[in-house]
Amino acid sequence: MNLRSSLPILVSLACLPARAQTPVPAPGSPPAYEMAPLFQASEVLDPSLLAGPYHRVRESAYGDGYLVHFTIDSDFGTYECVGIRDLRRCVGEIQAIASLVAVSKGDLFAEGLRKSVEAPIDAVKNIVRHPGKSVKQVPHTVGHFFNKLGISLDNAARKSAEGRQSSPDGEGKEIGEAFKSVAGFDKAKLECARQLGVDPYSDNPRLQEEMEKVTWAFFAGGLPLRIGAAVVSTGASVALTATEVVGLPEDIYDLTPSELKYQDRKALEAMGLSPQKIDAVFANPNVSISVRHQMVRSLARLNGPGREEIVNVIISCDTPWRAHFFRDVLRLLEKRGQTQPFTAYGAYGRLAVAQTADGTIEVPAPVDYVIWSEEVAGFANRVDLTSAKHRLILQGQLSERAATELKTAGWEIVPFP
């Protein structure tokens, strides 16, 4: 049974055109819609997110009707965050950068650099002697493992930020790229990200730069990478555990980019998708390796027809932020499916929806604060929903007006932690 063919479904909260005809209010009556409010960061954020040793969230924040937009000033730059989830991730990355900066000022880092020059590991010696040949020679030492490699962790992480910085041409660039492609460096960088509790494929350029610098010093110097011990050795006081940062599955850190690609391709094939459709998923530069893997992982756990329509949304993500948001949508749908079995799936716009056994349509909404707007009114009063029960699985809050209007329109609101 295909959800889309059996029942017209909902349009995305994020990009829904209004469909309902709302009467013009009489003079003196309350306005038809609410205006997106301004927020004080101190009233909506936990103290640990609001400020720390290396960051401060500006007090003034604003809503767009769904999510709250924040600005973070940090010791490492200014960051614009869309939504509390995005802010939480960013704060964790700032903490990680602080840890890496502290490590790079310590004795263990200096020792690694010294050893990498005085007595480099064999793979590094080979690069220095034959920079043009080293990348081709490495696979002969690791057998079939490199047959499915070919995507370096460095390149994969930088795809979404391509073009931000230029690199020098010539032999220096060749040697640098060869260094990063040497057998073992990718794994070492993944371990660095694991210890920091951050996404190894983050599009934060400063985080990537610091991870590469620290990882390389320890890797090329033949030293074990222990971020915690390295920070302690500097005498710095840095929080090493990110604040509920990413919640990434462990295989993000255990598998290389090409291994993850192989795993994701097999999962999509098992859903019955065509090779062309699968190729389109991997070709989208706005979907990072980690975000793609999490979305595919969620889809694989949602059994039933209609998942191809959700894949179409993944393919259509036109910015990294939209990809992150849709990842959160699928996470919420997956969690809901653990207690409320679904029989079919579908998608319109940029939102996935699911159908229960009794025909109820459930819409996951990982938002911050939803107001009663023209878009939400169109969503709530769709004529083609009158024949079906409908639930909003809400991860966030509704304004009092929005809650009242949605319930009046027949929506059941299910708060979700």
- 137 phi/psi in degrees, rounded to 5: -80, -30
The dihedral built from the CA positions of residue 207, 210, 214 and 215, taken in this order, carries a sign that is positive
Amino acid at site 362: E
* Lowest pLDDT segment from 181-195, 298-312, 363-377, 392-406: 181-195
Interatomic CA distance for residues 22 and 20, integer angstroms? 6
Task: Locate 196 and state its tokens.
Answer: 């920091």
Measure CA 111 to chain center: 35
Residues 6+ apart with CB under 8 A from 276: none
- The number of residues in the chain equals 417
pLDDT of residue 235: 57
Position 159 pLDDT exceeds 60: no
pLDDT of residue 113: 86
Decide: 381 and 33 in contact? Cβ < 8 Å.
no
Q: 120: pLDDT confidence band, cut at 50, 70 and 90?
A: low
Per-residue pLDDT tens for 8-18? 333 334 343 33
pLDDT of residue 3: 44
Per-residue pLDDT tens for 196-207? 999 999 999 999
Q: Listing from the earlier edge strand, what are the strands of the sheet with 351-355?
A: 344-348, 351-355, 361-370, 390-398, 411-415
CA-wise closest residue to 45 among 334, 244, 188, 185: 244
pLDDT of residue 6: 37
Return the residue matching tokens 């999510």. 67
Per-residue pLDDT tens for 221-260? 888 888 877 666 665 555 444 434 456 899 999 999 999 9
Q: In the predicted model, what is the mean pLDDT of residues 156-174?
A: 43
Decide: 392 and 332 in contact? Cβ < 8 Å.
no
Interatomic CA distance for residues 263 and 38, integer angstroms? 44
